Amino acid sequence: AIDPEFEDNRDVVEQHDGHNVWGPVEEPDTLGIHGTHVAVDFDICLADGACLEDCPVDVFEWVDTPDHPESEIKADPAHEDQCIDCMLCVDVCPVDAIDVDPG
């Protein structure tokens, strides 16, 4: 499961589409965590797709991650600023790859 303390335990190593990427990142095997308010651990995501289907405000978009060992697409929190904290994505992800912090 994603580390709920990732903001303390990881460093921001790059930006992607307006959100933080928390390392380590070593493509293509290690991709880190994308997002802050809605955070997806790309190294755990296996492209189940439930988060994209269920999010009522369409926070997620698929991105291509060729040659990653778990899956070759990931759910990217491209619109995390639109999140309404319903927590559906956290509940439906079968591998607990998502952390939403209502803060």
Please report, as ranges, the residues that interact with Zn ion according to CB under 5 A. Answer: 16, 34, 76
88 binding ligand SF4? (CB under 6 A):
yes
Report the residue from 87, 95, 96, 101 that binds ligand SF4 according to the rule CB under 6 A: 87
> 2-5: long-range contacts (C-beta < 8 A, 24 or more apart)?
2/33, 2/39, 2/40, 2/41, 2/44, 2/96, 2/97, 2/98, 2/99, 3/41, 3/99, 4/99, 4/101
Q: How far apart are CB 39 and ligand F3S at their closest, in Å?
A: 10
- In whole angstroms, the minimum distance from the beta carbon of 70 to ligand F3S comes to 8
Amino acid symbol at 22: W
Return residues touching ligand SF4 (CB under 6 A): 38, 54-57, 59, 83-89, 100
